[in-house]
Amino acid sequence: MGNIWTIARKEFVSYFTSPVAYVAITVLFVVVGLKFFVVDDFFVTRRADLRSFFELLPYFFVFYLPAIAMRLVAEEKRQGTFELLATLPVADRDVILGKYLGAVGFLVVTLLATLPYPLLVSFLGDPDPGTIYGGYLGLLFVGLVFLAFSVMASTWTGSQIVAYIIGSMLSALFFLLDLLMGIFGEATRKIAEYASVQAHFASFSKGVIDTRDIVFFVSLVALALTLATFSLNRRRWN
Protein backbone atom coordinates (compact mmCIF):
# COMPACT_ATOMS: atom_id res chain seq x y z
CA MET A 1 0.00 0.00 0.00
CA GLY A 2 2.85 2.34 0.90
CA ASN A 3 4.45 1.79 -2.48
CA ILE A 4 1.23 2.55 -4.34
CA TRP A 5 0.94 5.82 -2.46
CA THR A 6 4.59 6.74 -3.07
CA ILE A 7 4.27 6.14 -6.81
CA ALA A 8 0.90 7.89 -7.04
CA ARG A 9 2.23 10.96 -5.28
CA LYS A 10 5.32 11.11 -7.47
CA GLU A 11 3.25 10.86 -10.66
CA PHE A 12 0.76 13.44 -9.46
CA VAL A 13 3.45 15.93 -8.45
CA SER A 14 5.32 15.49 -11.71
CA TYR A 15 2.29 16.74 -13.67
CA PHE A 16 2.75 20.07 -11.99
CA THR A 17 6.55 20.27 -12.25
CA SER A 18 6.24 20.39 -16.03
CA PRO A 19 3.98 22.62 -18.13
CA VAL A 20 1.73 19.63 -18.96
CA ALA A 21 -0.80 20.26 -16.22
CA TYR A 22 -1.14 23.98 -16.88
CA VAL A 23 -1.45 23.55 -20.63
CA ALA A 24 -3.97 20.72 -20.24
CA ILE A 25 -6.17 22.60 -17.81
CA THR A 26 -6.06 25.76 -19.89
CA VAL A 27 -7.09 23.84 -23.00
CA LEU A 28 -9.92 22.24 -21.07
CA PHE A 29 -11.09 25.59 -19.81
CA VAL A 30 -11.02 27.17 -23.23
CA VAL A 31 -12.77 24.30 -25.02
CA VAL A 32 -15.53 24.04 -22.45
CA GLY A 33 -15.89 27.82 -22.36
CA LEU A 34 -16.18 28.09 -26.13
CA LYS A 35 -18.85 25.45 -26.28
CA PHE A 36 -20.70 26.96 -23.37
CA PHE A 37 -20.67 30.62 -24.30
CA VAL A 38 -20.10 30.68 -28.04
CA VAL A 39 -21.60 27.55 -29.55
CA ASP A 40 -24.52 27.26 -27.15
CA ASP A 41 -24.88 30.97 -26.60
CA PHE A 42 -25.57 30.61 -22.93
CA PHE A 43 -26.43 34.29 -22.41
CA VAL A 44 -28.80 34.36 -25.37
CA THR A 45 -30.73 31.19 -24.69
CA ARG A 46 -30.75 32.03 -20.96
CA ARG A 47 -31.40 28.46 -19.99
CA ALA A 48 -29.96 27.40 -16.64
CA ASP A 49 -29.06 24.07 -18.09
CA LEU A 50 -25.86 22.07 -17.98
CA ARG A 51 -26.89 19.36 -20.36
CA SER A 52 -24.59 20.38 -23.15
CA PHE A 53 -21.75 20.77 -20.64
CA PHE A 54 -22.11 17.16 -19.54
CA GLU A 55 -22.58 16.01 -23.13
CA LEU A 56 -19.40 17.65 -24.26
CA LEU A 57 -16.97 16.63 -21.55
CA PRO A 58 -16.87 12.87 -22.23
CA TYR A 59 -16.00 13.60 -25.88
CA PHE A 60 -13.32 15.94 -24.70
CA PHE A 61 -12.01 13.27 -22.31
CA VAL A 62 -11.53 10.87 -25.23
CA PHE A 63 -8.72 13.14 -26.43
CA TYR A 64 -7.67 14.69 -23.15
CA LEU A 65 -7.18 11.79 -20.73
CA PRO A 66 -5.02 9.62 -22.99
CA ALA A 67 -2.68 12.62 -23.20
CA ILE A 68 -2.51 12.69 -19.42
CA ALA A 69 -1.81 8.98 -19.06
CA MET A 70 0.29 8.24 -22.15
CA ARG A 71 3.66 8.91 -20.54
CA LEU A 72 3.08 6.85 -17.39
CA VAL A 73 4.77 3.65 -18.48
CA ALA A 74 5.84 4.37 -22.07
CA GLU A 75 8.13 7.20 -21.03
CA GLU A 76 9.79 5.08 -18.33
CA LYS A 77 10.50 2.47 -20.96
CA ARG A 78 11.97 5.02 -23.32
CA GLN A 79 14.10 6.72 -20.68
CA GLY A 80 15.30 3.43 -19.22
CA THR A 81 13.97 4.28 -15.77
CA PHE A 82 11.67 1.32 -16.15
CA GLU A 83 14.62 -1.00 -15.65
CA LEU A 84 15.27 0.63 -12.31
CA LEU A 85 11.63 0.66 -11.26
CA ALA A 86 11.22 -2.97 -12.26
CA THR A 87 14.22 -4.03 -10.19
CA LEU A 88 13.04 -2.28 -7.05
CA PRO A 89 11.16 -4.47 -4.58
CA VAL A 90 7.78 -3.27 -5.85
CA ALA A 91 5.15 -5.58 -7.31
CA ASP A 92 4.03 -4.86 -10.88
CA ARG A 93 0.48 -4.50 -9.61
CA ASP A 94 1.55 -1.73 -7.25
CA VAL A 95 3.37 0.07 -10.06
CA ILE A 96 0.23 0.07 -12.19
CA LEU A 97 -2.10 1.07 -9.36
CA GLY A 98 0.24 3.84 -8.21
CA LYS A 99 0.56 5.31 -11.66
CA TYR A 100 -3.15 5.01 -12.26
CA LEU A 101 -3.99 6.75 -9.02
CA GLY A 102 -1.55 9.55 -9.82
CA ALA A 103 -3.44 10.15 -13.06
CA VAL A 104 -6.78 9.87 -11.26
CA GLY A 105 -5.58 12.64 -8.97
CA PHE A 106 -5.09 14.77 -12.03
CA LEU A 107 -8.55 13.84 -13.30
CA VAL A 108 -10.00 15.08 -10.02
CA VAL A 109 -8.11 18.37 -10.40
CA THR A 110 -9.51 18.62 -13.92
CA LEU A 111 -13.06 18.12 -12.70
CA LEU A 112 -12.54 20.70 -9.97
CA ALA A 113 -11.30 23.13 -12.60
CA THR A 114 -14.62 22.91 -14.44
CA LEU A 115 -16.61 23.84 -11.34
CA PRO A 116 -16.92 27.53 -12.30
CA TYR A 117 -19.40 26.58 -15.05
CA PRO A 118 -22.00 24.82 -12.89
CA LEU A 119 -21.45 27.44 -10.21
CA LEU A 120 -22.15 30.20 -12.71
CA VAL A 121 -25.29 28.45 -13.91
CA SER A 122 -26.49 27.90 -10.34
CA PHE A 123 -25.83 31.52 -9.57
CA LEU A 124 -27.80 32.75 -12.55
CA GLY A 125 -30.61 30.25 -12.48
CA ASP A 126 -31.92 27.23 -10.74
CA PRO A 127 -30.57 24.03 -12.33
CA ASP A 128 -31.51 20.61 -11.00
CA PRO A 129 -28.81 19.75 -8.41
CA GLY A 130 -29.43 16.03 -9.01
CA THR A 131 -28.24 16.28 -12.60
CA ILE A 132 -25.14 18.20 -11.50
CA TYR A 133 -24.10 15.65 -8.87
CA GLY A 134 -25.03 12.77 -11.13
CA GLY A 135 -23.28 14.39 -14.06
CA TYR A 136 -20.05 14.85 -12.13
CA LEU A 137 -20.16 11.32 -10.77
CA GLY A 138 -20.71 10.07 -14.31
CA LEU A 139 -17.81 12.15 -15.60
CA LEU A 140 -15.60 10.75 -12.87
CA PHE A 141 -16.48 7.17 -13.83
CA VAL A 142 -16.04 7.80 -17.55
CA GLY A 143 -12.68 9.40 -16.75
CA LEU A 144 -11.65 6.43 -14.62
CA VAL A 145 -12.39 4.09 -17.52
CA PHE A 146 -10.55 6.18 -20.11
CA LEU A 147 -7.53 6.54 -17.83
CA ALA A 148 -7.45 2.79 -17.23
CA PHE A 149 -7.50 2.19 -21.00
CA SER A 150 -4.74 4.72 -21.47
CA VAL A 151 -2.52 3.28 -18.72
CA MET A 152 -2.96 -0.11 -20.32
CA ALA A 153 -2.02 1.30 -23.74
CA SER A 154 1.00 2.95 -22.16
CA THR A 155 2.32 -0.43 -20.99
CA TRP A 156 2.22 -1.78 -24.53
CA THR A 157 4.77 0.55 -26.05
CA GLY A 158 7.82 2.70 -25.47
CA SER A 159 6.32 5.55 -27.48
CA GLN A 160 4.01 8.12 -25.94
CA ILE A 161 2.44 8.89 -29.30
CA VAL A 162 1.51 5.27 -29.90
CA ALA A 163 0.18 5.04 -26.34
CA TYR A 164 -1.88 8.16 -26.95
CA ILE A 165 -3.38 6.90 -30.19
CA ILE A 166 -4.25 3.49 -28.78
CA GLY A 167 -5.67 5.06 -25.61
CA SER A 168 -7.85 7.46 -27.59
CA MET A 169 -9.05 4.79 -29.98
CA LEU A 170 -10.02 2.42 -27.18
CA SER A 171 -11.78 5.20 -25.29
CA ALA A 172 -13.64 6.32 -28.41
CA LEU A 173 -14.54 2.77 -29.32
CA PHE A 174 -16.05 1.99 -25.94
CA PHE A 175 -17.69 5.36 -25.67
CA LEU A 176 -19.48 5.08 -28.98
CA LEU A 177 -19.91 1.35 -29.12
CA ASP A 178 -23.71 1.48 -29.36
CA LEU A 179 -23.59 3.99 -32.21
CA LEU A 180 -21.02 1.94 -34.08
CA MET A 181 -22.75 -1.36 -33.59
CA GLY A 182 -26.13 0.15 -34.45
CA ILE A 183 -25.34 -0.20 -38.13
CA PHE A 184 -25.32 -4.00 -37.75
CA GLY A 185 -28.92 -4.17 -36.67
CA GLU A 186 -31.02 -4.52 -33.58
CA ALA A 187 -29.52 -7.64 -31.97
CA THR A 188 -25.94 -6.36 -31.88
CA ARG A 189 -27.16 -2.94 -30.84
CA LYS A 190 -28.64 -4.37 -27.65
CA ILE A 191 -25.35 -6.05 -26.72
CA ALA A 192 -23.37 -2.99 -27.69
CA GLU A 193 -25.58 -0.82 -25.60
CA TYR A 194 -24.60 -2.80 -22.55
CA ALA A 195 -20.87 -2.43 -23.32
CA SER A 196 -21.08 1.22 -24.30
CA VAL A 197 -19.67 3.75 -21.89
CA GLN A 198 -21.95 6.48 -23.19
CA ALA A 199 -25.13 4.51 -22.49
CA HIS A 200 -24.11 4.07 -18.86
CA PHE A 201 -22.99 7.66 -18.58
CA ALA A 202 -26.34 8.87 -19.91
CA SER A 203 -28.27 7.66 -16.90
CA PHE A 204 -25.83 9.37 -14.55
CA SER A 205 -26.24 12.67 -16.30
CA LYS A 206 -30.01 12.37 -15.90
CA GLY A 207 -29.35 12.23 -12.18
CA VAL A 208 -30.05 8.49 -11.94
CA ILE A 209 -27.42 6.63 -9.98
CA ASP A 210 -27.76 2.95 -10.65
CA THR A 211 -25.44 0.38 -9.06
CA ARG A 212 -25.46 -1.57 -12.32
CA ASP A 213 -23.78 1.35 -14.04
CA ILE A 214 -21.23 1.60 -11.27
CA VAL A 215 -20.53 -2.12 -11.48
CA PHE A 216 -20.06 -1.74 -15.21
CA PHE A 217 -17.52 1.08 -14.90
CA VAL A 218 -15.62 -0.55 -12.06
CA SER A 219 -15.40 -3.84 -13.98
CA LEU A 220 -13.98 -2.10 -17.05
CA VAL A 221 -11.37 -0.35 -14.91
CA ALA A 222 -10.45 -3.59 -13.15
CA LEU A 223 -10.15 -5.41 -16.44
CA ALA A 224 -7.95 -2.78 -18.07
CA LEU A 225 -5.66 -2.49 -15.04
CA THR A 226 -5.35 -6.25 -14.75
CA LEU A 227 -4.34 -6.43 -18.40
CA ALA A 228 -1.86 -3.60 -17.80
CA THR A 229 -0.30 -5.48 -14.88
CA PHE A 230 -0.15 -8.55 -17.05
CA SER A 231 1.62 -6.63 -19.75
CA LEU A 232 4.29 -5.40 -17.33
CA ASN A 233 4.68 -8.92 -16.06
CA ARG A 234 4.99 -10.42 -19.49
CA ARG A 235 8.68 -9.65 -19.81
CA ARG A 236 9.29 -12.00 -16.90
CA TRP A 237 7.92 -14.89 -18.90
CA ASN A 238 9.87 -17.05 -21.25
Tell me which residues touch another protein (CB under 8 A): 2-3, 6-7, 10, 14, 17-18, 79-91, 235-238
Work out how close the CB of 68 gets to another protein at its nearest, in angstroms, rounded to a whole number.
15
Closest separation in Å from C-beta 78 to another protein: 10
Q: Which is nearer to another protein, 16 or 194 (CB)?
A: 16
Rg (CA), the chain: 19
Residue with smaller CB distance to another protein, 18 or 219: 18
For residues 53 and 36, the answer to whether their CB atoms sit within 8 Å is: yes
CB of 86 closer than 8 Å to CB of 170: no
Q: Is 18 or 45 the residue whose CB approaches another protein more closely?
A: 18
Residue 50 CB, shortest distance to another protein, in Å, is 36
* CB 202 to another protein: min, Å: 39
Cβ proximity to another protein, 21 vs 142, nearer residue: 21
CB of 23 to another protein, least distance (A): 15
Q: Closer CB to another protein, residue 88 or residue 187?
A: 88
